[in-house]
Amino acid sequence: MTPHEAAGTKPKGSPWRILVTVLGTLAVIGVEFVLLYGVYSRATPVAEQRAAVAEVVGQLSVAVPADAAALADSLDRAAAQLADLGAPDDQVAVVADAAAAVQDSPGALAEARTAVTDLDAELADHAASLDVQAIVAYVSMLVIASVGWMVWFRRLVGRHRRLQAEVTEQAALVASEGRLASLVRRSADVIVVLGTDGRVGYATDSAAGLFDVPV
């Protein structure tokens, strides 16, 4: 028998505690997924932009002035691809300007190569920044979740200890009452408790033997 059963009461708030715990856990998981999805959804276009720019860098690294016309067409396509991938206008302009420069002056390959290489480095830095943001978001949510679970677990342990103390106290009280009843029942004194109707409600063993009444 639990302390609540002995007292004729039921524990209050337990369903609400469970509901709050479940909702809190789901909220933390949901926020974590939203943050990570937001970071990685930004990282995906950047990775595709880097791939497009890396292809241009490769073409420029092996290009010669005689390939200026074909290279200009390739750079124009790369600029259009970057625009479709949502790259900022200034980054698209770098590739488009390189295409125009190569087409107008085949000797401008070096300048175009430098400009596109710098753009590739800029995209690499942006991708690294997004990776750091993802790590920070993940670690932050992990710390928040860990602290939340630790606080909840400490409260749960504290509540369990209080209930255990109540059960122990109740068990000690029942045992004490049992010992007292046993002492009274086996007492040499004659003790008889009569009800309002005159019937014997309680009698010690000595009274039962003396008056021949059931115990």
Distance of alpha carbon 183 from alpha carbon 189, whole angstroms: 11
pLDDT for 101 equals 83
pLDDT for 213 equals 56
Any idea what DSSP says for residue 149?
A: H
Give burial (CB, 10 Å; 0-12/13-18/19+) of 28.
middle
Distance of alpha carbon 201 from alpha carbon 193, whole angstroms: 5
pLDDT for 106 equals 66
Any idea what DSSP says for residue 202?
A: E
pTM comes to 0.54
3-state DSSP assignment of residue 215: coil
Run of H or E residues at 200: strand 200-203
The 10s digit of each residue's pLDDT in 171-207 is: 888 888 777 777 666 666 667 777 777 777 767 677 6
pLDDT for 54 equals 85
Distance of alpha carbon 149 from alpha carbon 137, whole angstroms: 18
Residue with tokens 């974590």: 32
Report residue 214: phi and psi, to 5°: -70, 145
Is 213 in contact with 195 (CB distance < 8 Å)? Answer: no
pLDDT for 184 equals 66
pLDDT for 211 equals 66
pLDDT for 102 equals 81
Closest to 39 in 3D by CA, of 123, 138, 119, 125: 138
Residues in the chain: 215
pLDDT for 69 equals 81
Low-confidence ranges of the chain (pLDDT < 50): 1-13
112 to each of 66, 88, 120, 165, 189, how far by Cα in Å?
15, 18, 12, 79, 115
Report residue 107: phi and psi, to 5°: -75, -5
